[in-house]
Structure formats: C-alpha cells, structure tokens
Chain A
C-alpha cells in the first residue's frame, strides 16, 4: 500500500475509534503532554527536556487523576515520547489511545477491545477481517482466546515464567518463542494474569498477591494493547515506584521524580481499569504493512 493510501486509512481508522468511544458514552479528554513527573518504571525512559519537566511517556497519571475527580468513562488519543525506542515496531514519538473505566476491572477492558477492533475493522473494510503483513487473514469476531501468562510459557516454551524472570530471560523467551507462537493464531489473542513484577501499576488478584490483573492484546504476534485493573493503594503504589527507581539505579539509569499529586489523590480513586493501545501498530495491522515507518507521516529520521 502506498504511503498516501496508508495515511488515508489511518485517518479513517482514528475517526472510527473516536466514533466508537463517543457512541458508548466515553468522554474524550486532553491532558498536558509536558508534565513534572511520569510514573517511574524500570524500563521506560522519558526524553530529557531543557527544564526538569518531562514529555509524557503515557497519559496515565493525568487520566487517573480525572477518575479521582469523578469522571467515569474517559478516552484520549495523544502523542507519547520514550527515549531510545526505535525499531520496526517502535518510534520514539508515537500515538497512544488510552481509555479508563471507573467501577470496573480488566475483564470489562477485554470486552472493549473485542468490540473496538471489530468496529474499526468493519468500518474500514465492511467485513470483520483483514490481512496482516504476511497476507494472513485475521478474523476479529468474538470470542477471542484468553491465555494466562504462566500457561503460555509452559505450553509454548516448556518453562516456568517465574524462572525466566529470575534468570533475566523473560523478554528473550517472550519475544523469540511466545510472540511467534501467538502469531500463528488467525485471530487476536489475550495474554493475561502477569507476575506482579511485570505490572507496576496493576492491582493483584484478590486470591493471589503474586499475580496482577494485567493483560496484553496480541494480533498476528504484534503486541497491540496493555491493560489492567488499577492499583488504588497509595502506599503500595509508592513502594512500587521506589522499587522501580532502585532497579533503575542498579541499571545505571537516572532516578525519576515521583508524581506526588497523583499519589496524594490515589486513595480517592474508585476501583478502575485502564488500557493503552498503540494507534500506529493498529494501523500497521489493518494496512498490512511490515514496519511502523510506513504508517506515520514522517519518521524522526525523515525530519
């Protein structure tokens, strides 16, 4: 597909995303892109700016504060920046869709994902399937397969996910074995219930405090969205942020400031769930192209 056609498809898909959320009673919000502090995470680096403030790595801190202020269903399409992330599926500046639901958990988000993708794909193609970059037909009709992370590691790699994390092999096994196995599915797949080490802002399951209510949506082996039941315990959240900063120090990276106003308000946040979906990757999937370069007007190298 020519770039000019991909950008037309992109506009159409983004309009469909907006229609979807508007028609379901979500409020479209805009939060500041330049903020004093992001949520500190071990492996996410904000782009340094001339001041001590940072470009957002995700709009989550401000969007959760809106939940604290009484908003129930909100969505936002905004740009995010992450330092040194550039590859065939990564841009340092990219477009993220995030949506949040008060009084709900991650199960509601999984249903949202199914309905959203079905709506976008059928708006763009008048049918509920499209072809990915390998000309493989992906059918979006429900229900989608849901697999626990532990089960996926056992089934596809014959290893315990906890062993992989302890040995520092989690990312290797995930990207070289699990993701290619998920790419064999001809429909979207949800990978769910992550070890708590891999879910900095997620709530743990009521019956097991080692497992977090977090899921990732994979389509054709491409990681498309990451959602979870939000942690609303300010003390636990502060402990996790400080733990992330400790790990950053060990990795030789700068300590990141904590989003204090967010931590102050967190106790007032209702039980909620929230999710981030990469818009550029969604366009890659529906346009059936190989690299993220093909779905944006200009890459950083072209400027």
Chain B
C-alpha cells in the first residue's frame, strides 16, 4: 500500500477499481493546520481527469501495470486481437480503447501492450510505421494549382495528406505521434 507521503507525479494507483496516473501533485499545509495532499489524476482507461484532496493517514492500492511486447493478429468487428509471442497468450481490445493507434495496426506489427491485471488498457506503438498506399489520385504533371499535398489511403484504411509525387502502391513512413506523413521508402 502507498501512504499519502508516497504521492508524487507519475505514481499509479487504483481508485474505484480503475488505474489512475497522478499527473499533478502538491502538498499544502497552513500554519498549525492539517496537511492536505492535492492531486490531479488521469484515469488510465478512459483518460478522464479527476481532482482529489487527501489527508494524512489515507492510503492507496498501487496499480500494478505491466507492459508486454505483443504482435497484432487480426480485427473482428470492433475487437482487435494481440498475442504474446513467447506465451501465446492472447488479449482483445476494443476499438475505443485503442483510439488513434488503430490507424497504424497492420498484421504482425509488434507493439507494447499495457496490462492492468488481465485487462489490456492501451498500447504504445513504434514512433514510425511503414505502410503501403492503396489509393491516391495521380499527380498531373504541370499542375500549377499550388497544392503541395493530396489525400492518400493506406492499407489500414487510414487517410492522411501526402506530397503530390506519392503514387499508389508506394511504401511511406508515418509518424505515429502526430499521424503525419514522414518520408517515402525508396526502392
């Protein structure tokens, strides 16, 4: 168990059954008065923020979270299945939990899955992923309209802006942190 004295930014605790990350913390204590521990916490499942004030003597259950490297297998409806290549254990995550990460999930991609007990609550992706362009309009040579980008769809179904010279079937690198085109894979 953690006591209030253990509270600090980055601590992970369980509140009402959910894992929370302490994102802001301050200790306040008026002269001769009782100490107050003011925290702002983020629910690690749904991302909602919460303000809570604690007093001396209160305690918290640590949220034991584990990160494991897993491989993305397949999608069925809104359910995405991942597998630990060592133990062959499989976990399923909802599309909503994955958020934008679903845009980059290609079969066999290795990701870090965050587990809260048995439950997968999120994934972290490599900063860059390589995906094939499946659909984009041909760039007309001599186009002087001044557009320096055009929409393109990649094999996961994700649509992003790419430079005009990118053609269908080409491999491009996407930065998963902002979802933007990064570079073209030559050859």
A251 to B102, CA, bound (A): 50
Per-residue CB contact flags for chain A residues 193-228 toward chain B (1 = under 8 Å, else 0) read: 000001110000000000000001000000100100
On whether the beta carbons of B33 and A174 are closer than 8 Å, the reply is: yes
A12 within 8 A of B: no
The verdict on A171 contacting B27 (CB below 8 Å), with A85-B35, A251-B56, A251-B57 known, is no
CB interface residues, A 60-85, toward B, < 8 Å: 84-85
- Range, interface on chain A: 20 to 34
Q: Select one of B28, B32, B33 contacting A87, CB under 8 A.
A: B28
A172 to B30, CA, bound (A): 9
Q: How many A-B residue pairs have CB under 8 A?
A: 54
Q: Least Cβ distance of A216 to chain B in Å?
A: 6
On whether the beta carbons of B34 and A43 are closer than 8 Å, the reply is: yes
A86 to B53, CA, bound (A): 15
A252 within 8 A of B: yes
Instruction: Give the number of chain B interface residues (Cβ < 8 Å).
Output: 15
On whether the beta carbons of B57 and A223 are closer than 8 Å, the reply is: no
Q: Specify which chain A residues have a CB less than 8 angstroms from the CB of B34 in the assembled complex.
A: 42-43, 170-171
A35 to B155, CA, bound (A): 74
Q: Select one of A87, A226, A251, A252 contacting B31, CB under 8 A.
A: A226
A41 to B35, CA, bound (A): 13
B29 within 8 A of A: yes
The verdict on A88 contacting B26 (CB below 8 Å), with A175-B36, A252-B57 known, is yes
A18 within 8 A of B: no
On whether the beta carbons of B26 and A223 are closer than 8 Å, the reply is: no
Q: Pick from A88, A90, A172, A174 the residue with the most CB of B within 10 Å.
A: A172
A199 to B31, CA, bound (A): 10
A257 to B57, CA, bound (A): 21
On whether the beta carbons of A223 and B30 are closer than 8 Å, the reply is: yes
16 CB contacts below 8 A, A to B, read A43-B32, A84-B56, A87-B27, A88-B27, A89-B28, A90-B29, A170-B34, A171-B28, A171-B30, A171-B33, A171-B36, A174-B30, A175-B28, A198-B33, A223-B31, A226-B32
Residues of B within 8 A of A (CB): 5, 26-36, 53, 56-57
